[in-house]
């Protein structure tokens, strides 16, 4: 997408009534779903996407054990090697294009390409390894993107109140922080809505095409 935020007017339906184009004005927003390795990005996009999501998961190999830290995620057997992609329409014809980014350091050049044109990012975090989120947030801040943090509530993860989490993650007071189960569609939608509201509140009006 060349424009992260656009409104195609009166786009004709294709393929005999496509579900992708409604024929009405739509606001298209490109967002990233980011976070460290094994935090639930693929799961969240799978739960959210109204279309068949694109996944590039591969089975982890013995060689990968030397470069991917499995602490806290010993049960993980696959990893994203390129991107995840999904699409979600919110009320008001707001269409979100969701790009899941690999969490490992070696994919940083790919992350930079995926991030081009994005308006913001939903950063997933895991209370079992909060420190792993700092590098991801640093990259997003360096890119100048607004973001919200969604703490994925794994069954065996310790629980903390929001104030302690905000302090541990050193979040700016304006940065949204929510708790969600990435497997739960409603909770994941709420997390995205918190991000979208934050992003649109700081999007200059002139960046929005009529």
Does the global pTM surpass 0.85?
Answer: no
Provide, rounded to the nearest whole percent, the portion of the chain with pLDDT above 90.
50
Half-sphere exposure in the Cβ direction for 68 (13 Å, CA): 25
Report the pLDDT value the prediction gives residue 5, as an integer from 0 to 100: 52
Q: Is the pLDDT of residue 205 over 90?
A: no
**Cα–Cα dist 178/103, whole Å:** 20
3-state SS assignment for residue 186:
helix
> Domains in the chain, ordered, with CATH?
25-207 (3.40.50.300)
Give the angle 119-122-125 at the CA atoms, nearest 5°: 155
Mean pLDDT of the chain: 78
Give the angle 118-107-43 at the CA atoms, nearest 5°: 70
Q: What is the pLDDT of residues 18-76, one digit of tens each?
A: 334 445 578 899 999 999 888 999 999 999 999 887 755 444 445 444 444 545 444 54
Q: Is the pLDDT of residue 113 over 90?
A: no
Name the phi and psi angles at 3, rounded to 5: -115, 130
The b-or-e profile of 148-183 (16+ CB within 10 A means b, else e) is: bbbbbbbeeeeeeeeeebbeebebeeebbbbbbbbe
**Cα–Cα dist 73/124, whole Å:** 14
3-state SS assignment for residue 1:
coil
**Cα–Cα dist 123/195, whole Å:** 10
118: nearest Cα among 138, 157, 147? 147
């Amino acid at each position: 997408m060349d424009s992260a935020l656009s409104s195609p007017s009166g786009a004709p339906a294709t393929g005999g009534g496509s579900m992708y184009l409604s024929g009405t004005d739509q606001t298209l927003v490109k967002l990233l779903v980011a976070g460290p390795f094994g935090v639930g990005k693929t799961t969240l996009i799978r739960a959210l996407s109204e279309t068949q999501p694109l996944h590039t998961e591969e089975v982890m190999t013995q060689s990968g054990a030397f470069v991917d830290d499995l602490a806290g995620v010993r049960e993980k057997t696959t990893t994203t090697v390129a991107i995840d992609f999904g699409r979600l329409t919110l009320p008001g014809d707001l269409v979100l294009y969701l790009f899941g980014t690999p969490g490992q350091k070696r994919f940083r050049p790919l992350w930079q390409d995926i991030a081009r044109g994005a308006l913001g990012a939903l950063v997933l975090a895991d209370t079992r390894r909060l420190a792993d989120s700092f590098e991801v947030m640093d990259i997003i801040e360096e890119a100048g993107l607004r973001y919200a943090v969604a703490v994925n509530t794994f069954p065996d993860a310790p629980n903390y109140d929001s104030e302690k989490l905000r302090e541990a993650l050193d979040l700016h007071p304006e940065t949204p922080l929510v708790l969600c189960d990435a497997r739960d569609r409603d909770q994941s939608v709420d997390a995205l809505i918190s991000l979208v509201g934050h992003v649109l509140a700081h999007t200059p009006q002139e960046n929005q095409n009529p």
